[in-house]
Amino acid sequence: MSKLTRRAALLAPLAAPAFAQTNQMAIATGTTGGVYYPLGGALANYLTRGIPGMSATAEVTAGSTANFQLLGAGRAQLVFGQVDAAVDSVRGAGQFRGRVVPTRAIAVLYTNRMQAVTTADRNIRTMEDLRGKRISTGAPQSATELFATRLIEAAGLNLASDFRGRERLSPAESTAAIRDGKIDAYFFVSGVPTSAITDLAATPGTTLSLIDHDQYLDRIVAAHGPVYFAEVIPAGTYPGQTAPNKQLSVANILAMREDAPAPLVSQVLEVLWQNREDWARVHAEARNFNLQAQKTASAGVPWHPAAEAFWTARGAQLT
């Protein structure tokens, strides 16, 4: 195989069968300790009930990066994911290593908040205080791992040499590890509140501490593009949280493949839009799924034409 042929193969979209069986839909969500999973389970129920002949199932996954890889491989037809990982998938960058995924946004959901989590007894107040500590940067192939490594770099820390230990744990595993004294802090990017951090904050004798990091916005955007923005997690979001947390965020999207049939995309959105009030009862973050949110979408992720038509018809401003 020539160099040119090899390069073409690398840059081609990940091979996957087209939507031959549109009555079967695997929905890639995330870990059980996050927000994607309960929202995905409810979405699967809505689609199964609302689309004749449809059988939709929510799958537990490592998170965003893994989800877009599953989408590219044709092993998931609908995925939850962060915009930063989605942009990498479209460009064939980062963990996608030159393998382009034909990711297309169909909806913007809510904001994912980066949470740098520790407890008051560790005396960690700043990102710089993490030097020499034991940390978890999230499960392999998760959006947490992607965002956390970028934030650590933006804070001037070296992931390979500035920490006494680095684990790659799910949020539930990270909470157990910090309780057991195996790590000092962990990162988790999700909607708020999220069950794993709530569980830690509710542990008797534990005072939750969330590390501010919004001061690194300019550095992380300069390095990775305008997919991140500063927000604040209000005091009282978690048990015992007495101060607001100034942090960085990224938007979440629902995505399908470029070759997803337009009628199916329209049906998915119609069913979800009709059930949005019930969805907000599953998790509070679903309240942020609205017309106004759609304008924040893509930041480099193309819209599926059917989704673009769906939102435009309802008055959403997509640019």
**Is pLDDT at 315 greater than 80 in this prediction?**
yes
- If you search the block for the tokens 């819209």, which residue do you land on? 303
Peptide bond into 193 cis (omega under 30): yes
- If you search the block for the tokens 């799924």, which residue do you land on? 289
Convert the pLDDT of each residue in 276-285 to its tens digit. 999 999 999 9
Pair 232, 163 in one domain: yes
Pair 74, 148 in one domain: no
Pair 35, 157 in one domain: no
Peptide bond into 38 cis (omega under 30): no
Pair 215, 94 in one domain: no
Domain boundary among 225, 250, 275: 250
Report residue 31's pLDDT band, with 50, 70 and 90 as the boundaries.
confident
- H-state helical runs in 225-293: 262-274, 276-282
**Is pLDDT at 198 greater than 60 in this prediction?**
yes
Say which residues have a Cβ less than 8 Å from residue 104's Cβ, sequence separation at least 6. 255, 256, 257, 258, 260, 301, 302, 303, 304, 307
Pair 169, 290 in one domain: no
Pair 102, 119 in one domain: no
Convert the pLDDT of each residue in 213-240 to its tens digit. 999 999 999 998 889 999 999 999 999 9
Pair 122, 187 in one domain: yes
Report residue 22's pLDDT band, with 50, 70 and 90 as the boundaries.
low
Convert the pLDDT of each residue in 61-91 to its tens digit. 988 999 999 999 999 999 999 999 999 999 9
pLDDT at 216: 98
Pair 118, 106 in one domain: no
Domain boundary among 196, 223, 250: 250
Establish if 272 belongs to a structural domain.
Answer: yes
Report residue 297's pLDDT band, with 50, 70 and 90 as the boundaries.
low
Residue scoring higher pLDDT (22 or 153): 153
Q: Please give the residue range of the domain that contains residue 301.
A: 24-110+252-313
Establish if 59 belongs to a structural domain.
Answer: yes
Mean pLDDT of the chain: 91
Q: How many residues does the chain have?
A: 319
**Phi and psi (nearest 5°) for 56?**
-110, 140
Establish if 270 belongs to a structural domain.
Answer: yes
Q: Which of 22-31, 240-249, 297-306 has the highest mean pLDDT?
A: 240-249
Establish if 11 belongs to a structural domain.
Answer: no
Domain boundary among 250, 268, 295: 250
Pairing of strands 165-167, 24-28: unpaired
Pair 227, 138 in one domain: yes
Establish if 19 belongs to a structural domain.
Answer: no
Establish if 4 belongs to a structural domain.
Answer: no
Contact status, residue 157 vs residue 130, Cβ threshold 8 Å? yes
List the structure tokens of 188.
Answer: 């988790």
pTM assigned to the model: 0.83
Establish if 39 belongs to a structural domain.
Answer: yes
CATH number at residue 308: 3.40.190.10
Pair 43, 150 in one domain: no
Residue 137: strand, helix, or coil? coil
List the structure tokens of 272.
Answer: 């979800």
* Number of separate domains in the chain: 2
Rounded to an integer, what distance in angstroms lies between the CA atom of residue 91 and that of residue 101? Answer: 8
Pair 175, 230 in one domain: yes
Pair 294, 173 in one domain: no
Establish if 287 belongs to a structural domain.
Answer: yes
